[in-house]
Amino acid sequence: MKRIVVVGSGFGGLQAVTHLDGMFRRDRDVEILLLSDQNYLLFTPLLPQIASSYTDPRHIVQAVREIRGRKRFRFRREAVRAVDAANRRVMVDSGSIEYDALILASGSRTEFFNTPGARENCWDYKSLQQAVELRERIIDLCEHADHTEDSAARRSMLTFVVVGGGYTGIELVTEMRDFLFGYAARKYRGIDAAEIRLIVLEAAPDLLRGIGPKLAAHARKRLDVSGIEVRTSTRVTRVLQGSVEINGNESLAADTIIWTAGVRASELIESLPGLHDRIGRAVVNAHLQLEGHPEVFVIGDSAAAVNAQEAPRVAPVAIEQGRIAARNVAHLWHGEPLDTYEYASKGMLVSLGMNYAVVKIAGIQISGYFAWLFWNAVHLYKLVGLKKQVQVAGDWMLGFIFPRDAAIVRRPRGCKLCGTAKQELAPRAMDTGTF
């Protein structure tokens, strides 16, 4: 019996196991085991819509056991703590699991570039939990700003800084804009729209690297007319609780600073033997194999393939590499030549909130309402499973007809009420907002 272990239930890992499952369907001597610390696939392109209460968090995740259907691969919810490549085993909390071939697709984490205070004081935006926390945080601040009489404190509560002008930062800030101006400024009677500030800080001279100058200019114009302040060639040099230092000489007061400026390979990948690039990704050959360990493949956000080091860290790259790694396991065992990964851009689609997007695909560049319709159609189609497609389409339709849902369902980190001792939470002290 041979065992193939795949780590990570993201885009790359799930593509790899489903492909392996198809190739080894009749080979009962091969066991395929997926290990992941999450029991679902997170559809990250819709994550920004969680912060704006446009889409329900449960609608953008699909449980692994649902995706598996009648396929025969096994799934274990485990965090892999280390890879012992010399002895061909992965270490998990309950012991070790041996493998004959290993595909690592454990994604990435946020990189703060050693910016003082950033890790401690910024909000991260990579996981579903972080997205839900930020949603609750935004609503919580609106609740407090609604009745706070100190105008400086109110302004700070209503100032949101997004560090990073890549697609995550831009999609997130435009979603937040839709919520804050479209909902909060209307429903919270103590909040004046003029007091809401959304600021994007980007170290590079341009936004949305990779989309091209024409669409980047369209996006910039759209942000300007939406009232979002954009500062390019602006480096964050320090983050404190409640303020951010810019270019070492300017301070900006903001209660919420969200960091979307960089990613780094997961700790598991950084601990692998062999070469790593500047953001910790494992350097693999053109067949996605780890140097000195041909039975170990690294894919997706975790991998820097020698001939595609500049490939962006996006889902289509992880999916394509998942397919190639799966095929190469079979080729390796059958003594066949291995497939090579070549990066080819599948285009770039960036939503700029309700009714506007910029799209670059197959040499065509469009922006505006039709680009936004196209963005919606593509993402709905890419969602895994009819149930999720119906749920998300339902959320989008309801978002047109009804106001957003602004109920706080769990107390967010930094909530002003949470710091208060339980007995002090008398009804009088409880904030109910102004009606």
Task: Name the strands in the sheet holding 123-124, side by side, starting at the edge strand that comes first in the sequence.
Answer: 123-124, 256-259, 159-163, 197-201, 228-231
Site string for ligand FAD, 337-376 (x = CB under 6 A): ----------------------------------------
Site string for ligand FAD, 283-322 (x = CB under 6 A): -----------------xxx----------xxxx-x----
Site residue total, ligand FAD (CB under 6 A): 32
Compare residues 52 and 243 and give the one whose CB is closer to ligand FAD: 52
DSSP states of 270-329 as a string?
HTSSS-B-TTSPEEE-TT-EETTEEEEEE-GGGEEETT-TT--S-HHHHHHHHHHHHHHH
Residue 11 in tokens: 């885009």
Compare residues 52 and 148 and give the one whose CB is closer to ligand FAD: 52
3-state SS of 155-194 is HHHCEEEEECCCHHHHHHHHHHHHHHHHHHHHHCCCCCHH
Q: Which stretch binds ligand FAD (CB under 6 A): 36-44, 179-187, 394-402, 411-419?
A: 36-44
The span from the CA of 344 to the CA of 163, in Å, is 28
Which of 18, 44, 115, 243: binder of ligand FAD (CB under 6 A)? 44
Question: Which residue number places its CB atom closest to ligand FAD?
Answer: 10
Residue 217 sits at the vertex; the CA angle it makes with 212 and 220, to the nearest 5 degrees, is: 125
| Residue 55 in the binding site for ligand FAD (CB under 6 A) | no
| Residue 125 in the binding site for ligand FAD (CB under 6 A) | yes
Q: How many residues does the chain have?
A: 435
Q: Which stretch binds ligand FAD (CB under 6 A): 39-47, 158-166, 198-206, 226-234?
A: 39-47
The owner of tokens 């790899």 is 16
- Beta strand segments in 203-292, E: 228-231, 236-240, 243-246, 250-253, 256-259, 263-265, 282-284, 289-290
Which of 23, 61, 67, 79: binder of ligand FAD (CB under 6 A)? 79
| Residue 37 in the binding site for ligand FAD (CB under 6 A) | yes
Which of 5, 6, 12, 184: binder of ligand FAD (CB under 6 A)? 12
Which of 49, 243, 266, 289: binder of ligand FAD (CB under 6 A)? 266
- Greatest alpha-carbon pair distance for the chain in Å reads 74
Centroid of chain to Cα 279: 17
Are 210 and 312 within 8 A, CB to CB?
A: yes
Which of 6, 33, 47, 196: binder of ligand FAD (CB under 6 A)? 47
Which of 18, 36, 55, 115: binder of ligand FAD (CB under 6 A)? 36
| Residue 146 in the binding site for ligand FAD (CB under 6 A) | no
Supply φ then ψ for residue 396, to 5 degrees. Answer: -65, -40
Which of 156, 168, 174, 328: binder of ligand FAD (CB under 6 A)? 168
| Residue 226 in the binding site for ligand FAD (CB under 6 A) | no
Binding site for ligand FAD (CB under 6 A): 7-13, 35-38, 44-45, 47, 79-80, 105-107, 125-126, 168, 266, 268, 300-302, 313-316, 318
